[in-house]
Structure 1
Amino acid sequence: MADGRPNLISAVCYRDPRAALAWLEKAFGFELVFLVEDAEGNLGHSEMRFGNAAVMIGNEWSDDHKSPASVSGKNTQTVHIQLSEGDLDAHCARARAAGADIIVEPETQFYGDRTYRCKDPEGHIWTVARTVETVSVEEMERRTGLKITGQG
């Protein structure tokens, strides 16, 4: 992190960014740390934190910056949340209770993370993971039959 801010921050567009701010706090435990409003109280920019990571939440501000809700539910990126503590299944239950559409139920992956995938109320796809097992590259290859390069 440079100057206390992450080096990479995703910016996610919503039709209703204020509702998104409240939902992300309720569903995932994000914390609002920065909010810019114009003279009429319209949201201009915001930033939320989750651990040492951040995400910017904004409105649809051009023809090229749209919520999936405005483009037939299509996503061109997904956001990944890596939990460093806590129970992934409980996190999934929290998100479900907040209205998340769980599209992949919690499951332990060959690489040692337990993950689930969901859609938020506007259709953005979020993947949430928690490492539950340290797995060597050799073991990942044995489990999958794939050739794996690097350390992940």
Structure 2
Amino acid sequence: MALSIIPMLAVHDAAAAISFYQSVFGATEANRMVTEDGKTSHAEIRVGDARFMVADEFPEHNTAAETLGGTPVILYITVEDALETVNNALAAGAAMLREVAAQPHGDLVGKIKDPFGHVWMIAEPLKTVPQKKIIQGN
């Protein structure tokens, strides 16, 4: 049996968040369930081979990052062009947390906070770094 971890992002406006992820990351929507009052209770989003879920905030079930005053979770996404993706995110309302720059582990990475309170590290793989160079002491 294959196991996986699928993040679920609680947000104040799931429809707007899905639109943001589609425009910035090229996400596609696999499915969405909406309550009678129009709130998204579950949506599955795909970016390349990865998937995650998005839902409106339901205080009895989950709490959005904005309500909590931030999030300790950082989502790391690989893209073909980090600078272009970060610029698209900024144009769509994201906040810059760290400029795009080459990192010692071999990726070009920028860090943004999306308009819904979630933090993303947007990475463009530049080269493969041998694992023994990453682990201290080896």
Task: Tell me the alpha carbon deviations over residues 54-113 of structure 1, each in whole angstroms, 9 at most, x when there is no partner.
Answer: 1100022235621121122x2031211122xx2211111111111111101111111101
Given that residues 27 and 96 in structure 1 are in contact (C-alpha distance below 8 angstroms), is that contact kept between their aligned partners in structure 2? Answer: no
Distance 2:132 2:72 in 1: 32
Provide the rounded CA distance (Å) in 2 between the counterparts of 1:139 and 1:42: 47
Q: Which runs of 5+ in 2 are unaligned?
A: none
What is the deviation of 1:138?
Answer: 4.7
Match of 2:137 in 1: 147
Amino acid at match of 2:108: R
Is 2:23 the counterpart of 1:33? no
Gap regions ≥5 residues in structure 1: none
Partner of 1:49: 46
How many residues were matched structurally? 138
Larger RCO, structure (CA 8 Å, separation 6 or more) = 2
**Contact 2:39/2:56, CA 8 A, preserved across alignment:** no
What whole-Å deviation, never above 9, does each CA across 1:37-59 have from its counterpart, x for those lacking one?
Answer: 23443322101100000110002
Query: What is the TM-score normalised by the length of structure 1?
Result: 0.80
- RMSD, aligned α-carbons: 2.2
Corresponding residue to 1:9 among 1, 6, 25: 6
Please name the residue that 1:88 is paired with: 82
The secondary structure found in structure 1 opposite 2:88 is helix
